[in-house]
Structure 1
């Protein structure tokens, strides 16, 4: 007996496509909601993200005082960053897996997720331990060493997470997706153009690498980016519903 290869039927392919769109939209919505949880928990507990610039002598006692809230908030933030990785892969599949632009863009999206995870991880692994040691010693030399370690690692990991992850890789990923939207026209062109504007705003905070102040731009661009992503989720569901009608 000659074995024959079974190919998916048209209905099966349509169902698979619908599932991909729904997964992508669901992850985009979930990522947004979990980020809002992060903002609410950390904002009320430690005045995040403004507290990121606090000196060690102010930040470490607050971390210890609000340890449970810090753990919950940064766990949520870690989860939202993790979601960027499958989102990047699903958008690559939806918008055109054969596109070299999207292939590169998906790589940027994955790198953005990993860079953010590296930056966020310090608040779950290192900083609580430093806060504990800082509170239990009265040795000024040890305290000075802890403050130096806090400041140095915060600058390094913060640069990896915020400058490389949030600004550089996420900005390039957003630009790549937006250009693909303009090329393929599955989604409205205005949405592709708005994505390019958002991508530029996300890239602007990179000027801080050169000791230039971006002011509130990191917060503003991050908010615009989150709004654009959740709108993308709605657009995907709407497009798929129209295609099936």
Structure 2
């Protein structure tokens, strides 16, 4: 009877761990698909992400013209950023909740998600309103004030979302997860090493804080990061614990 209860308890634990692996993989796949929706919608509507550097006089009329697409695209982007938070928590549980390194890394992942949300939120809340006000007036002084507000807030919120969220916190989280993979050896070591390379590329755009140009590195590193995340989802499904029925 004791042996039977012990077996049932072990089996239940294995099922719980397997479920955690599947949830993490599902969120990683879902995050990737939603991000691709963001890229397709905003890319076709406003030439995103290149349009992020457009001056206010060019960006605001385009936002108003493509308001529905902008709302859909950035809502999807907002959702994909939100998903990073439970992903960070699940990976902390999978790779070792007792690990101090992974505990700190999970914190960086959560902060990355929140920083990205703060950056993305400007396109859903403030920028459409500025676009309406800009279109409704022909007063050059008022337009100049709106352009100044657009540029200032875009630089501020963009710095939080892109430099702090996408580059700094996401880069540190990726590096922490990669080091944990190398330590735990639950996943292939090559994937841990590749994660360190991806983390380095994600951190490179931080040089823009010092008025240095990263060129297309933000786009390149984000693409590599997304590929790394979806590969992680596939590996979690492949190496998930086997449950005996």
Relative to the length of structure 1, the TM-score reads 0.96
Residue 165 (str. 1) matches residue 165 (str. 2): yes
**Structure 1 gap ranges (5+):** 1-5
How far apart are residue 244 of structure 1 and its match? 4.1
Alignment correspondent of 1:62:
62
Alignment correspondent of 1:239:
239
Q: Does structure 1 retain, via aligned residues, the 8 Å contact 2:198–2:221?
A: yes
Q: Does structure 1 retain, via aligned residues, the 8 Å contact 2:15–2:243?
A: no
| In structure 2, C-alpha distance between the alignment counterparts of 1:244 and 1:189, rounded to whole Å | 24
Instruction: Give matches, 1:66-105, under 5 Å.
Output: 66-105=66-105
Relative to the length of structure 2, the TM-score reads 0.96
Instruction: Give matches, 1:1-245, under 5 Å.
Output: 9-240=9-240, 243-244=242-243
1:215 alignment partner, SS class = coil
Alignment correspondent of 2:3:
none
**Structure 2 gap ranges (5+):** 1-5
| In structure 2, C-alpha distance between the alignment counterparts of 1:187 and 1:124, rounded to whole Å | 38
| In structure 1, C-alpha distance between the alignment counterparts of 2:141 and 2:23, rounded to whole Å | 53
Kindly provide the CA deviation profile for residues 2-32 of structure 1, in whole angstroms up to 9, marking residues without a partner as x: xxxx9x7111101110110000000000000
Kindly provide the CA deviation profile for residues 46-102 of structure 1, in whole angstroms up to 9, marking residues without a partner as x: 000000000000000000000000000000000000000000000000000000000
| In structure 2, C-alpha distance between the alignment counterparts of 1:155 and 1:232, rounded to whole Å | 32
The one of the two structures with greater contact order (alpha-carbon pairs below 8 A, sep at least 6) is 2
| In structure 2, C-alpha distance between the alignment counterparts of 1:50 and 1:203, rounded to whole Å | 20
2:240 alignment partner, SS class = helix
| In structure 2, C-alpha distance between the alignment counterparts of 1:112 and 1:215, rounded to whole Å | 22
Runs of 4+ in 1 over 4 A off after TM superposition: none
| In structure 2, C-alpha distance between the alignment counterparts of 1:183 and 1:99, rounded to whole Å | 10
Single out whichever of 9-18 and 152-161 deviates more from structure 2: 9-18
| In structure 1, C-alpha distance between the alignment counterparts of 2:216 and 2:114, rounded to whole Å | 24
1:240 alignment partner, SS class = coil
| In structure 2, C-alpha distance between the alignment counterparts of 1:30 and 1:128, rounded to whole Å | 27
| In structure 2, C-alpha distance between the alignment counterparts of 1:88 and 1:187, rounded to whole Å | 16
- How many residue pairs align between the two structures? 239
| In structure 2, C-alpha distance between the alignment counterparts of 1:128 and 1:104, rounded to whole Å | 37
